[in-house]
């Protein structure tokens, strides 16, 4: 299954997760209504192309504390990125709601540690989890109490790693993110998957509609969702393979959708003035042959980024990965080391 065709959909129907959560070893603690956990805010489901439920997570607020209540993915689809997308969706929503911290009881703490959660002693954990009163606590069930403290900064990962195999570009991007999170504790990471279907090229009707909405100041239209998401990012990571001396065409389509007059940039007498807050945009690519000085994808991204107000740009690459006879793993290792050196 191609996990990138997965949809994440918000839902208030918590009970649909009952079987999935039980199979994943999560307890279903419902409040008096019997419809959801205490302090239930909302939930998201991951569904595959056929509409089947393959993952879910919920967020709650108890005694003023935000909690990532449950997160589960069907066993055969774990480590495919679904849990990460659900997690990021939930974390971004809580940040948008004004959360400063998020608590969890984790059965797979390594996953959360990677994203910047730290361990709490049970006595330092607010009294919001039923766990400690459960007779299985410390016996068959040994959860870790963890907390995440938002710094308020946001990184947007524009993931255009369109591929038929395990993407080498994605491997570099994942590594970059791990280093970045370590160097920027509390950063919120959000991913937009930029593949066919994520956005449409603008035609005459779209441009007319966009102009009408802009004239009316109706920037809350869903047409501008990607532009808002880009505009509020403090950091941007673009991951895109080197295709035809640049990047996959869908990334250009996505860019058409974020470059919006009056929202992400404005026209001035001297040219353009960017309205986005991004301090640094990092571009990661891998190529089958040599790139040399023909990284037209990166050059283009820099041009657009400058127009939108991005302050600085950085690039990491691994090239010649399809040339027979070369040690491709050694090339990748070298690129990973360059990222390590650049992100310390």
| DSSP E strand boundaries for the chain | 7-11, 40-47, 53-62, 65-73, 101-106, 118-120, 144-149, 154-159, 188-193, 235-239, 265-268, 271-274, 280-286, 312-318
User: Binding to ligand FMN by residue 161, rule CB under 6 A?
Assistant: yes
Binding to ligand FMN by CB under 6 A, coded x per residue (else -) over 189-228, reads ----------------------------------------
**Residue 295 binding ligand FMN, by CB under 6 A:** no
Q: Would you count residue 160 as binding ligand FMN (CB under 6 A)? A: no
Query: CA 213 to CA 209: how far, in whole Å?
Result: 6
Counting contacts by CB under 6 A, is residue 6 touching ligand FMN?
no
In angstroms, the first-to-last Cα distance of the chain is 36
DSSP state of 24: T
CB of 233 closer than 8 Å to CB of 274: no
Asked if residue 262 binds ligand FMN (CB under 6 A), the reply is no
Answer for which of 15, 183, 218, 245 binds ligand FMN (CB under 6 A) is: 245
188 binds ligand FMN (CB under 6 A): no
Which of these segments, 71-79, 160-168, 191-199, 204-212, binds ligand FMN (CB under 6 A)?
A: 160-168
Q: Is 242 in the site for ligand FMN (CB under 6 A)?
A: yes
Does 83 help bind ligand FMN (rule: CB under 6 A)? no
Q: What is the DSSP letter of 63?
A: T
> How many residues interact with ligand FMN (rule CB under 6 A)?
17
The DSSP secondary structure of 139-161, one letter per residue, reads: TTB-PEEEEEE--S-EEEEEE--
3 binds ligand FMN (CB under 6 A): no
Footprint (CB under 6 A) of ligand FMN, residues 299-338:
321-322
Q: Among 288, 300, 307, 328, indicate the residue that binds ligand FMN (CB under 6 A).
A: 288
Contact 45, 14 (CB under 8 A): no
- 287 binds ligand FMN, rule: CB under 6 A: yes
* Structure-block tokens of residue 244: 């035809």
Which token pair is 114?
Answer: 């990677």
Query: Does the protein bind ligand FMN through residue 289 (CB under 6 A)?
Result: yes
Q: Which stretches of the chain bind ligand FMN, using CB under 6 A?
A: 161, 163, 167-170, 241-245, 286-289, 321-322
């Amino acid at each position: 299954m191609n996990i990138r065709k997965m949809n994440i959909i918000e839902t208030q129907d918590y009970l649909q997760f009952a079987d999935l959560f039980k199979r994943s070893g999560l307890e279903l603690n419902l409040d008096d209504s019997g419809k959801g956990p205490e302090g239930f805010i909302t939930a998201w489901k991951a569904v595959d192309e056929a509409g089947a439920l393959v993952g879910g997570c919920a967020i709650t607020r108890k005694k003023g504390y935000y909690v990532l209540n449950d997160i589960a993915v069907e066993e055969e689809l774990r480590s495919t990125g679904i849990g990460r997308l659900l997690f990021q969706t939930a974390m971004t929503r809580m940040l948008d709601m004004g959360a400063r911290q998020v608590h969890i009881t984790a059965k797979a703490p390594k996953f959360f540690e990677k994203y910047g959660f730290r361990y709490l002693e049970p006595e330092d954990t607010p009294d919001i989890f039923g766990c400690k009163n459960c007779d299985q606590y410390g016996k068959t069930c040994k959860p870790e109490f963890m907390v995440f403290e938002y710094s308020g900064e946001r990184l947007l990962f524009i993931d255009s790693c369109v591929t038929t195999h395990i993407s080498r570009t994605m491997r570099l991007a994942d590594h970059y993110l791990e280093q970045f999170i370590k160097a920027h504790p509390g950063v919120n990471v959000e991913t937009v998957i930029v593949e066919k279907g994520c956005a449409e090229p603008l035609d005459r009707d779209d441009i007319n509609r966009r102009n009408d909405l802009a004239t009316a100041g109706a920037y809350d239209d869903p047409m501008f969702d990607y532009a808002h998401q880009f505009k509020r990012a403090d950091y941007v990571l673009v991951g895109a393979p080197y295709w035809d001396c640049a990047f996959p065409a869908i990334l250009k389509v996505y860019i058409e959708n974020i470059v919006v007059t009056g929202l992400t940039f404005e026209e001035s007498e001297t040219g353009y003035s960017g309205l986005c807050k991004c301090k640094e945009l990092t571009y990661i690519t891998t190529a089958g042959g040599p790139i040399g000085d023909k990284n037209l994808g990166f050059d283009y991204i820099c041009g657009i980024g400058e127009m939108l107000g991005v302050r600085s740009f950085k690039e990491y690459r691994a090239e010649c990965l399809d040339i027979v006879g070369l040690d491709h793993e050694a090339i990748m290792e070298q690129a990973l080391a360059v990222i390590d050196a650049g992100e310390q």
